[in-house]
Chains A and B, each alone.
Chain A
Amino acid sequence: GQNIDQPTEMTATEGAIVQINCTYQTSGFNGLFWYQQHAGEAPTFLSYNVLDGLEEKGRFSSFLSRSKGYSYLLLKELQMKDSASYLCAVRDRSGYALNFGKGTSLLVTP
């Protein structure tokens, strides 16, 4: 099985940087995904890590350490529209099924 933990809520200020952590314990690992989900909408893909290290994509970066079972999503130059839920998901060894954490609700304040 998979156990994926992330903070329930975070608050940050517009223009600042925020780091959302995700830890996982899995019986198999085949990549880690971050999704963004605005209230009532579908999740949308942000990033994918399968090897250790940092992946950068504009204002968003994601880091993975497989030995520590740890990932983080870094959001820079926060904007009000970044207020959303951020979902960490681990792909199992089959290469298909995604197991999601419960999500981190981020509130960006002026």
Chain B
Amino acid sequence: EAQVTQNPRYLITVTGKKLTVTCSQNMNHEYMSWYRQDPGLGLRQIYYSMNVEVTDKGDVPEGYKVSRKEKRNFPLILESPSPNQTSLYFCASKTSGASYEQYFGPGTRLTVT
């Protein structure tokens, strides 16, 4: 089954404790992206990657890091999480070509206390 998976789905952590949220897709998509979704603010892009070893900042990259060493994986790293990073995070992927939609993972609900 074609899908985007994220782990963990739910995470409660404390300020300053490094964490990684994994994202993997099995559709051989070139493009992958991370979003955060907050009430009243909608979906905002954190980072994106157009292919292996090619990443770029989205609208809200501060406090986050990403890497794209393999085509299928695009982990999101929070080196020192803070409470304002409490949010619902979505990973998405798409193939090349403007007309193709993005496929979203199931989401990771992160709480930083």
Contacts and interface: CB of A to CB of B under 8 A. Distances in A.
Interface residues of A, number: 23
Contacts, number: 54
Chain B: interface size category: 20 to 34
Interface in B66-113: 88, 90, 94, 97-99, 101-107, 109
Interface in B54-76: 58-59
Nearest to A50: B99
Contacts of A10: none
A30 B45 CA distance: 17
The main secondary structure of chain A at its interface with chain B is loop
Interface of B: 31, 33, 35, 40-45, 48, 50, 58-59, 88, 90, 94, 97-99, 101-107, 109
Interface of A: 30-31, 33, 40-45, 48, 50, 87, 89, 91, 95-103
